[in-house]
C-alpha cells in the first residue's frame, strides 16, 4: 500500500467519525492557535516598544529624583547642561488639570518645561511658537497645546492668541504642536505645555524631580550618562536617590518583560499541544481496538506490518495536521480581533507559524507511534476471532 492510499483511508476514517475526530483535534487546535496568537501579540508589543523608543530618540536620557528632602534646583540643572556629551537639558513637571473653553471642559496632561524640550522630544510646532526663555523667566501664563487638545477646545478655529482656562485661571495660547502620536504609554497630542516656572506655581511645587537630557549623538550617550551621574552625586550621596537611564535601557527592560510573558504563555500553550497529542494517542488506541477485525482481514490478504503501522501513523499525522491548520486559522483570527478591539500592534511571523504547524504534525506522529505499533503487532488469527 502506498502513502496516497493510506492518506485517502485516513481521511475516510476521519470523515466517518467527525465528532470524535474534532474532539481529538481540540487540544492541537487550542495549542497551535494559542502559540500563534500569543507570539503575534508579544512580537507586536516588542515592535511598539521599539517604535516608541525610536520616536523619542535613542540619545534621550531621563533622570528621576526620588529624594525630595534635598532640592535639585535650576542652577544645578545648568551644571548638567555643561556636562561632557550633553547637548540639551529640560526640567519636566507633570500633572493633570482641568481645561475650559466656553462650554467645553476636559481634563488633560500638563507638562511644565523649558524651550529645550521641543528639540529633546523631537516635536515640531504646527502653528505659533513654543515656550521661550522669557516665558520661563517672567512666569508667563502662556500655554502650547497638543493637536488633539487644541481640536477638543477650539474645534476648527485657530487657538493662537486666544485664552483658555486651566484650573480657573486664564492662559494665552501661543502655539499648537504637530501630531506626534503616543509613545511609552503617553501622548503629546492630548497634552499642554507650560513654562516650567509657571507650572511650578500651578502644581504648587518648587523643586525639580525629573528632567530630560539629550546626548550630542548616540555614540556619546554613555559618556553623557556618566557625566550626569557625577553631577548628581555632588548633590546626592546615595545613588538610590536618583536614577539615570536612557531609552535603550527602557526598551531592553520592557522587551525583557514582554519576552518573558510571551514565553510563559507560549509554554502553557505548548502544554496544550502535548495534551492534544495524548488525546490523539488515546483515540488511536481505541481505534485499534475497534478495527481489530479489519486489521486481521488486511493481514490475511497480504498486508505487511509496515503497511498497518504506516496507515495508523498517517491517520494520527493527518488528525494533528488538520488540527494545526484549524489552530493556525483561529490564532490569526484571534490576534486580528485583539488588534481591532485593543488598538494594539500585532506582528505575524511566517517561520513561527510554519514551525507551530510542523510541531503539531510531529506531535501527532510521535503520539501515534505506540498505537500504530500495537496495531502492526496483531496476529491475523487472533484479530479475525474478535467479534
Q: Please tell me the distance from the alpha carbon of residue 177 to that of residue 135, in angstroms, as a whole number.
A: 17
Quickly state the pLDDT bin for 15 (edges 50, 70, 90). Answer: confident
User: How many structural domains comprise the chain?
Assistant: 2
pLDDT tens digits for 312-339?
888 888 888 889 999 999 999 999 999 9
| Structural domain boundaries enclosing 320 | 3-52+253-385
Q: Please tell me the distance from the alpha carbon of residue 174 to that of residue 127, in angstroms, as a whole number.
A: 8
**What is the H or E stretch that residue 208 is in?**
none
pLDDT tens digits for 141-181?
999 999 999 999 999 899 999 999 999 999 999 999 999 87
Helices 3-16 and 305-342, axial angle in degrees (round to 10): 60
Inside any domain, residue 57: no
List the one residue out of 148, 288, 17, 10 whose CA is nearest residue 1.
10
48 and 72 in a single domain? The answer is no
pLDDT tens digits for 73-130?
888 999 999 999 999 999 999 999 999 999 999 999 999 999 999 999 989 999 999 9
Of 201, 235, 269, which closes a domain?
235
Inside any domain, residue 327: yes
Query: What rounded mean pLDDT belongs to the chain?
Result: 87
Higher pLDDT, 356 or 379: 356
DSSP designation for 184: T
22 and 104 in a single domain? The answer is no
Inside any domain, residue 357: yes
Quickly state the pLDDT bin for 290 (edges 50, 70, 90). Answer: confident
Phi, psi dihedrals of residue 157, rounded to the nearest 5°: -85, 155
User: According to the model, what pLDDT value does residue 382 have?
Assistant: 61
Residue 234 clears pLDDT 60, i.e. is over it: yes
User: According to the model, what pLDDT value does residue 185 have?
Assistant: 54
Residue 2 clears pLDDT 70, i.e. is over it: no
Pairing label, strands 169-177, 182-183: unpaired
Amino acid at each position: 500500500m502506498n502513502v496516497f492510499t493510506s492518506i485517502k483511508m485516513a481521511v475516510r476514517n476521519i470523515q466517518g467519525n467527525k465528532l470524535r475526530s474534532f474532539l481529538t483535534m481540540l487540544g492541537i487546535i487550542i495549542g497551535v492557535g494559542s502559540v500563534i496568537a500569543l507570539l503575534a501579540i508579544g512580537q507586536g508589543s516588542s515592535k511598539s516598544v521599539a517604535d516608541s523608543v525610536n520616536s523619542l530618540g535613542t540619545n534621550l536620557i531621563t533622570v528621576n529624583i526620588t529624594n525630595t528632602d534635598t532640592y535639585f534646583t535650576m542652577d544645578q540643572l545648568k551644571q548638567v547642561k555643561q556636562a561632557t556629551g550633553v547637548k540639551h537639558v529640560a526640567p519636566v513637571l507633570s500633572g493633570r488639570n482641568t481645561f475650559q473653553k466656553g462650554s467645553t471642559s476636559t481634563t488633560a496632561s500638563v507638562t511644565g518645561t523649558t524651550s529645550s524640550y521641543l528639540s529633546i522630544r523631537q516635536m515640531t510646532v504646527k502653528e505659533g511658537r513654543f515656550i521661550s526663555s522669557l516665558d520661563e523667566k517672567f512666569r508667563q501664563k502662556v500655554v502650547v497645546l497638543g493637536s488633539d487638545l487644541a481640536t477638543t477646545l477650539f474645534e476648527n478655529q485657530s487657538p493662537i492668541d486666544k485664552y483658555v482656562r486651566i484650573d480657573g485661571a486664564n492662559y494665552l495660547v501661543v502655539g499648537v504642536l504637530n501630531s506626534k502620536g503616543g509613545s511609552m504609554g503617553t501622548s503629546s497630542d492630548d497634552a499642554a505645555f507650560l513654562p516650567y516656572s509657571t507650572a511650578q506655581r500651578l502644581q504648587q511645587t518648587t523643586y525639580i524631580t525629573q528632567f530630560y537630557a539629550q546626548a550630542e549623538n548616540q555614540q556619546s550617550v554613555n559618556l553623557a550618562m556618566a557625566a550626569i551621574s557625577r553631577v548628581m552625586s555632588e548633590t546626592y550621596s546615595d545613588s538610590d536617590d536618583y536614577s539615570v537611564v536612557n531609552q535603550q535601557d527602557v526598551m531592553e527592560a520592557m522587551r525583557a518583560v514582554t519576552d518573558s510573558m510571551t514565553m510563559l504563555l507560549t509554554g502553557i500553550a505548548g502544554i496544550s499541544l502535548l495534551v492534544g497529542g495524548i488525546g490523539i494517542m488515546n483515540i488511536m488506541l481505541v481505534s485499534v481496538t475497534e478495527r481489530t477485525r479489519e486489521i486481521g482481514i488486511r493481514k490475511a490478504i497480504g498486508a505487511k506490518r509496515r503497511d498497518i503501522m504506516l496507515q495508523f501513523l498517517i491517520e494520527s499525522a493527518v488528525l494533528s495536521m488538520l488540527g494545526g491548520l484549524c489552530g493556525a486559522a483561529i490564532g490569526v483570527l484571534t490576534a486580528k480581533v485583539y488588534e481591532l478591539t485593543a488598538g494594539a500592534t500585532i506582528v505575524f511571523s511566517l517561520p513561527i507559524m510554519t514551525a507551530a504547524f510542523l510541531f503539531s504534525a510531529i506531535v501527532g506522529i510521535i503520539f501515534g507511534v505506540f498505537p500504530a505499533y500495537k496495531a502492526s503487532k496483531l496476529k491475523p488469527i487472533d484479530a479475525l476471532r474478535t467479534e
